[in-house]
Amino acid sequence: MASSLHFLLLVSSFLYTFSISQAKPYNQLNGLIFHVKKDVSTLQYVTEIHHGTPLVPTKLVVDLGGPFLWLNCSSSSSSRLIYQRSIQCLAAKPKTHVQGSNKKCDIFTENRITQVATQGDLLEDIMAVDQVTDGSKTGSKSITAVGYNILFSCAPIFSLNGIPSGAKGMLGLGRTQMSMASQISAQLSSKFQFIICLSSSNGVVLHENGHHSSNFRSKIPDSMTYTPLVNQVESPHEYIINLKSIKICGKKMSPDIVEGKIKLSTIVPYTTVESSIYATFTKVYEQAAMSMNMTRVSPVAPFGQCFSSRKNDGTLVGPKVPVIDLVLQSEMVEWRIHGRNSMVQVSDEVMCLGFLDGGLNLKTSMVIGGYQLEDTLLHFDVGASRLGFTHQSCFELRLDSEFKHTL
């Protein structure tokens, strides 16, 4: 049974749904796609939506675990303020307060990069993104309204500190009813799921309704390994998986030291590891590197372990370096990290291990950052509470074949 919020979204989208480029009923769309670019100065991943009336292109930082969409709002004739005790306000579960006689729905809004929080007004308005086509019109590009009633928080301008220049907010894809991923799934009448492929250049976040034959339905699941998504009370909106052990070149670190949980994040540039695990991890990694005749060099901030890349022959999966395996819920389920995701080329002659000391206060044993997620196909099947991943690059699987003309 659909939640009250999802029911409201579906009713509203049925009454007010349109395509900017062509008159096409929304429920006939294959899906929607966010094109993602990496900002070179902040290492954040940025996408673009069209928002409001008139529709205005709006750049947003992709926040995988973010609970909802927030932005510094511009004038829009179609925006509507949400009030307390409404279905939308109750579903958002905000921290609310009364300002005189104006009982608007105030929602706790956080820039999760700077960790600066404030209260923002809960609104709804038109949002539009690119639609997925069948690839037959290779020169076409179509922008389609997601719906009139997309919920978001309107945050003050100081909330934009620390995000890329020109970005107006953050696109939350977390495990909440109010996240953009959840609202799009409701609009598409599909289960709560989406695909991400990050890249140093062109990446995507893809939503499909599952009603049509496509790469999403046919090619991808066959190559996937799945692991359960687990819940963490203090951060239920995050995507977290189990970690049983870590192997480096097949050598397992002690499970007594490692066993815990992994969080996936698009707002952390490089993977961070809890300090006690990091000390053992880097020690074992250095031993494996020395056995491969790699040469240690002085570290380059922010990295703690760097090597010469002068005599390192590249492979199809990046530099020839020790392979890292994250053993998840069982020995049969491993997330393998090759050189293209473990090593960061910081100069012509130096490469550094892209794993950082995260200190003693991490809420999980490890936070896998954006660099380690790049070129890895990830299927967030939230409805089934599982994460799918594949060792093949998502673009090797031709995931982009349906929309490569817009990348």
The amino acid at 11: V
The pLDDT tens digits of the residues spanning 256-309 come to 677 899 999 999 999 999 999 999 999 999 999 999 999 999 999 999 999 999
The pLDDT tens digits of the residues spanning 171-181 come to 999 999 999 99
The amino acid at 185: S
The model's pTM:
0.87
Q: Provide the pLDDT for residue 94.
A: 61
Cα–Cα dist 310/329, whole Å: 38
Q: Which domains does the chain have, with CATH numbers?
A: 31-219 (2.40.70.10), 225-396 (2.40.70.10)
Q: Provide the pLDDT for residue 282.
A: 95
C-alpha of 263 from chain center: 11
Q: Provide the pLDDT for residue 398.
A: 47
Written as six digits, the tokens of 407 are 């990348």
pLDDT beyond 50 at 81: yes
Cα–Cα dist 186/208, whole Å: 11
Residues β-bridged to residue 351: 307, 345
